[in-house]
Amino acid sequence: MRREWNFSAGPAALPTAVLERARDELLCLDGAHASVIELSHRGQRFGEVAERAEASLRRLLAVPDDYRVLFLQGGATGQFAAVPLNLARRGAAAAYVDTGIWSRKAESEAARYLDVVRIASAAESDYTRAARFDGIAWPADCGYLHVTPNETIGGLETYDLPDDVGDRPVVADFSSTLLSRPIDVARYGVIYAGAQKNIGPAGLVVVIVREDLLDAARADTPTIWNWGEQARQGSMVATPPTFAWYLAGLVFEWLEAQGGLSAMAEINRRKAEKLYHFIDSSEFFHNPIDPSVRSWMNVPFILADAQLDGVFLHHAAEAGLHGLAGHRSVGGMRASLYNAVPEAAVDALIEFMADFEQRHA
């Protein structure tokens, strides 16, 4: 049994130290009589686990006091529907920015519930540059603006917002980038992120909502999707994903021990720059994204000869490098460099790629 380098886009690598601690505590959680998996979510001991996780996340992101943090199920995809349902009474329409596959999925799910207007799109650059906001036309009665700061599949990362957002709340799908760098939570009304990219195990989605947005839901919003109701009940409208919540808490504490998000940003920037620099200096590998909006977390790249894709993946696995296949919808390769992927993994990947190029170019 040997842990090898894992570049999977999600479920993705977790810090080894976190897994070791979870292993050590698995049979019996300190101060409990059983495994954390076996404890009632209503009991005191799990309550401590839950509170501790939230407090650590709040410190990491400097979440302002007037925001609530929810630990829910149903993934980011569930929130694609929860967003329009919960903000329905703020306006009959919503503005979406098209930055790639995930933003369009969010948009089409929302279109089932309200009038969706695509106010800007990166399509004109084939998703290699940020969407341009000059001359955008806001829909009348616009309840919110939705953005996707990091496109996990396309590898485009941008925090740009239109200048004239006004008092429209900005809702952001932060699934693959939350905790990779400091952000200003106050720029957003709602932040949501599926855990399995950069937070913890699958089965958990973290939602951070400004309090004034908790009471705008459509009356027929299912209770488990209702942010206000979840906030009132401490994310326990239904039994929450207790193990995933606990493990996310361990990840948050690990991040604090690493020096928090500024320290992680420094490491993440270095990891990504190294890999992009290598790709740019190679004749054989290619990443099409404009350098100003290249994702730190997900680095897609193609080989000069797509017929070698299978050989590349096969030899990479033999060299202990896993999870490098691109998303099934686009093919090619993708290296995800989340917080838990150490710089040594990136060094090993670059060394392998350089060697592969030598042998096959």
Ligand X SMILES: *Cc1c(COP(=O)(O)O)cnc(C)c1O
Cite the active site residues.
102, 173, 197
Output 75 or 323, the one with its CB closest to ligand X.
75
Contact residues: ligand X, CB under 6 A: 10, 75-77, 102, 148, 152, 173, 175-176, 194, 197
Min separation Cβ 96 and ligand X, Å: 13
Of residues 208, 256, 216, the one with CA closest to residue 235: 208
Alpha-carbon span 152 to 138, nearest angstrom: 27
Output 294 or 312, the one with its CB closest to ligand X.
294
| Phi, psi angles (nearest 5°) of residue 117 | -120, 125
Output 77 or 128, the one with its CB closest to ligand X.
77
Output 155 or 194, the one with its CB closest to ligand X.
194
Min separation Cβ 277 and ligand X, Å: 25
| Phi, psi angles (nearest 5°) of residue 201 | -75, 160
Q: What angle do CA 238, 241, 242 make, to 5 degrees?
A: 110
Please enumerate in sequence order all residues whose Cβ is within 8 A of that of 92, keeping only pairs 6 or more positions apart, or say none.
114, 115, 141, 143
Alpha-carbon span 350 to 341, nearest angstrom: 14
Output 282 or 334, the one with its CB closest to ligand X.
334
Min separation Cβ 256 and ligand X, Å: 24
Of residues 104, 102, 100, 129, the one with CA closest to residue 116: 104
Q: How many residues does the chain have?
A: 361
Min separation Cβ 77 and ligand X, Å: 3
Alpha-carbon span 148 to 100, nearest angstrom: 8
Alpha-carbon span 110 to 148, nearest angstrom: 14
Residue nearest ligand X by beta-carbon distance = 75
Output 138 or 159, the one with its CB closest to ligand X.
159
Q: Say if CB 72 and CB 207 are below 8 A apart.
A: yes
Output 83 or 120, the one with its CB closest to ligand X.
83
Min separation Cβ 107 and ligand X, Å: 12
Min separation Cβ 97 and ligand X, Å: 13
Min separation Cβ 339 and ligand X, Å: 15
CA quadruple 87, 88, 89, 94: dihedral positive or negative? positive
* Conformation bin of residue 327: beta by default, left when phi > 0, alpha when psi is -120 to 50: beta
Burial label for 37, CB within 10 Å (0-12, 13-18, 19+), is exposed
